Structure 1
Amino acid sequence: MPITLKFLQAGHGDAFIFECEKDGDSFVMVVDSGPRISQCKIVPIIKGLSKIDLLVLSHYDEDHISGYLEYFKNYQEDALKIREYWCNCASQIEVEQRTIISAYSNAKTFADYLRQISKEFRDTKWIELIKAGHQYNNEFVDIEVVAPSNTALTINRNKYITSEYPAITCDRVNDDLDVSLKDLAKRPTPYTSQVINNASIAFILRTEGKSYLMLGDVMPDDVVNYLVSKGYSEDCPLEVDFVKVSHHGSRYNISNNLLDIIKCNNYIISTNGGRASAIHPDRETIAKLLYHPQRSMQEIVHLYFNYKLNELQKHRAILFNDGEIEEAKCEVHEEEFIL
């Protein structure tokens, strides 16, 4: 049963399309829609799909939701081709309009679109509370949601204003280049309060032919806790063909603990290098992917970027020194859009 993941160029954001065919029928799933800057590229692709069986908004940061906002603003009649929505919108959060932050404004706008669509098209299904343990199964795919946890959802509801996004300086990027990948991999994952990111919908998608762990922008600890609760460990790891690395490869969203209970040699990193002080991916993240303790050095690790490395470098995301790719038994793939 053929399945493809279209890994779209969505600037500093995320946009993915799964398509699976079987016996003349198909399953189509859209995950996120990129930032405002990439609307003119992403929206026509979504518009061009003949149907969408499942549309997922992982979380409502601008670099994930903006394409959807533009799409539904202009093409609400397309709701007829969409069977089910997953969107944990901000309707439970009461915020004064003068103090509302952009992510929640976006979420409320999107929720208004979905409510109107639900009134007009009764067959449309919108699930507004997707959390760890939720299952979606049909003849094409089995989907198991691994995040967000109840705790993450509660914190997001109660402490959204305190969300922290630490600045990434050029000095730190340059300093990391002076440290070997092996030594960078040993650093503990730094802490930050990313309450919106940690409320991301993350899931495992399995078919007869492939499996994917899609991590949105989630923090690692909740995913670790969920997988451990399901019996996964270093001795019995979750085996998947591809991992979509969380938060465009940010060092705050990856840990050796997570990587050590996953068996995978193919990692997807979605970013053009970031914008302003949000430089992605981090060299420290690459180090952990290549040198986490349970990584087998007998096998090649494949890193998939949807932009060329020299494009990332324009945004100051410099990942490798000379010879490090070969030494780590790694292959880098650039601008490969279908996996």
Structure 2
Amino acid sequence: MMKITNIQANCGDSFLIEDTDDPRKLLLDCGFKFTYQYKIKQLTSSVDYLILTHSDEDHIHGAIPLIEETPHKFTVGKVYVNVPSSYEVGAEGGNISIHQAITLENLLNKKEISYQGLLAGMTVNISENISLEIISPSKEDLEYFINKYKEVKESSSPDPISKTSIIIPLEELAGNKDAYKSKKSDFTNAASIAFILKYKDRNLLFLGDAHPTVVTDYLEARGFSESKRYAFDYIKLSHHGSVTSISEKFISMISCSNYIVSTNGGKARSMHPSRETLAKLALNVERNGGNDINFFFNYPVEEITARNGLLISSEEMNKHKIKLIEQSSFYIK
């Protein structure tokens, strides 16, 4: 059996993946510093694999104290992270967390912890039953990201998502055009590591903050399309369910009834998940696990709606067979 824990990291990401038939563990992202201090350390004091999907602070910041406490208070085996060998950049926190990435890379070298990058097409074997098929980033997108890192002067702006009292019907939202940014303007997320986790005969898609076109390009190259969809048991939504991280083409190429969301609702003008994302999936995606479509949250739905507004009304849930479920642990047989 495989256990997945969607660790509470406020508006960040952190997942602990364990094979109960094998002692090896995978930690996927570390959220913020408090995520490590108050959440990760309560679950485990060692992992065999650590994957940091990209350099946004809500994914990478918690890895800094984790590495600082290695090996005396925490032990870590192999680290996978895409970082350039050096930077000459001036930036202040925010979405492109240059300073945290530099600190992390220096710490890994100081502690003599081996690390390597991941590119689309690679395979990582976690245990006898668990393997990862890397689908993002492409070599070209990673190279562009590294070059741009040296030019960036300030962090990118957050998604223009804010709380509103105007409730737009799901049917209208589901028909909206794609809202994702170009890869060149969203190069940090275009370089995000994403993978298909294969456990026995199960397929789970972990998207990190991956750009939708990178994902669909990979799936298309593998022969998947609207007439030949990739069936997933679970999908961890990209960028906490942001509307800028999903596309009509992606929805047309997959079949899935279960979606995992990692967020407490977000903050300021960057609030997640987007009601539009949920609408597009609920009304347009092919369901492969029964009549219902399920969205799993690692924070109370009431807390999320209080922060960023209505997600799905009870009437809409009944009409479209949508379930909002508060669940942070998953057991996959």
TM-score normalised to structure 2 length: 0.89
Q: Match for residue 270 of structure 1?
A: 262
Structure 1 residue 56 and structure 2 residue 55: aligned? no
Letter of the aligned partner of 1:284 in structure 2? Answer: E
Q: Match for residue 108 of structure 1?
A: 102
Q: Match for residue 81 of structure 2?
A: 87
Structure 1 residue 130 and structure 2 residue 118: aligned? yes
Q: Match for residue 158 of structure 2?
A: 165
**Aligned mates of 1:36, 1:77 — CA distance in 2:** 18
Letter of the aligned partner of 1:133 in structure 2? Answer: G
**Aligned mates of 1:265, 1:224 — CA distance in 2:** 19
Shift of 1:71: 1.5
Conservation of the 8 A alpha-carbon contact between 1:280 and 1:317: no
Letter of the aligned partner of 1:131 in structure 2? Answer: L
Q: Match for residue 174 of structure 1?
A: 165
Conservation of the 8 A alpha-carbon contact between 1:3 and 1:210: no
Q: Match for residue 184 of structure 1?
A: 173
Structure 1 residue 228 and structure 2 residue 216: aligned? no
Shift of 1:13: 0.5
Conservation of the 8 A alpha-carbon contact between 1:32 and 1:58: yes
Q: Match for residue 237 of structure 1?
A: 229
Shift of 1:168: 2.1
**Aligned mates of 2:308, 2:106 — CA distance in 1:** 38
Conservation of the 8 A alpha-carbon contact between 2:3 and 2:20: no
Conservation of the 8 A alpha-carbon contact between 1:237 and 1:262: yes
Deviation per CA, 1:175-233, whole angstroms, max 9, x where unpaired?
4x2x2212211112213332212211100110115321000011101100001001111
1:291 pairs with one of 274, 277, 283:
283
**Aligned mates of 1:112, 1:204 — CA distance in 2:** 30
Q: How many residue pairs were aligned?
A: 320
Q: Match for residue 121 of structure 1?
A: none
- Give aligned-pair identity as a percent: 31
**Aligned mates of 1:7, 1:296 — CA distance in 2:** 22
Greater displacement, 239-248 / 51-60:
51-60
Letter of the aligned partner of 2:11 in structure 1? Answer: H
Greater displacement, 188-197 / 101-110:
188-197
* 3-state SS of paired residue (2:31): coil
Deviation per CA, 1:243-293, whole angstroms, max 9, x where unpaired?
000000100001121122111110000000001111111001101110125
Conservation of the 8 A alpha-carbon contact between 1:304 and 1:334: yes
Summarize the Cα distance change of 1:226–1:236 in structure 2 as closer, same or farther, 3 Å threshold.
Answer: same
Summarize the Cα distance change of 1:317–1:34 in structure 2 as closer, same or farther, 3 Å threshold.
Answer: farther
Segments of structure 1 that go 5 or more residues without pairing to the other structure are: 119-123
2:188 pairs with one of 173, 196, 201:
196
**Aligned mates of 1:310, 1:274 — CA distance in 2:** 13
Shift of 1:89: 1.8
* 3-state SS of paired residue (2:25): strand
Q: Match for residue 33 of structure 1?
A: 30
Alignment of 1:141-156 (within 5 A): 141-156=130-145
**Aligned mates of 1:130, 1:156 — CA distance in 2:** 14
Conservation of the 8 A alpha-carbon contact between 2:228 and 2:253: yes
**Aligned mates of 1:133, 1:320 — CA distance in 2:** 37
Conservation of the 8 A alpha-carbon contact between 2:192 and 2:208: yes
Summarize the Cα distance change of 1:38–1:53 in structure 2 as closer, same or farther, 3 Å threshold.
Answer: closer
Deviation per CA, 1:293-312, whole angstroms, max 9, x where unpaired?
54579621111011111110
Letter of the aligned partner of 1:65 in structure 2? Answer: I
Letter of the aligned partner of 1:311 in structure 2? Answer: E
**Aligned mates of 1:71, 1:264 — CA distance in 2:** 34
* 3-state SS of paired residue (2:62): helix
Greater displacement, 299-308 / 264-273:
299-308
Conservation of the 8 A alpha-carbon contact between 2:70 and 2:76: no
Q: Match for residue 319 of structure 1?
A: 311
* 3-state SS of paired residue (1:26): coil
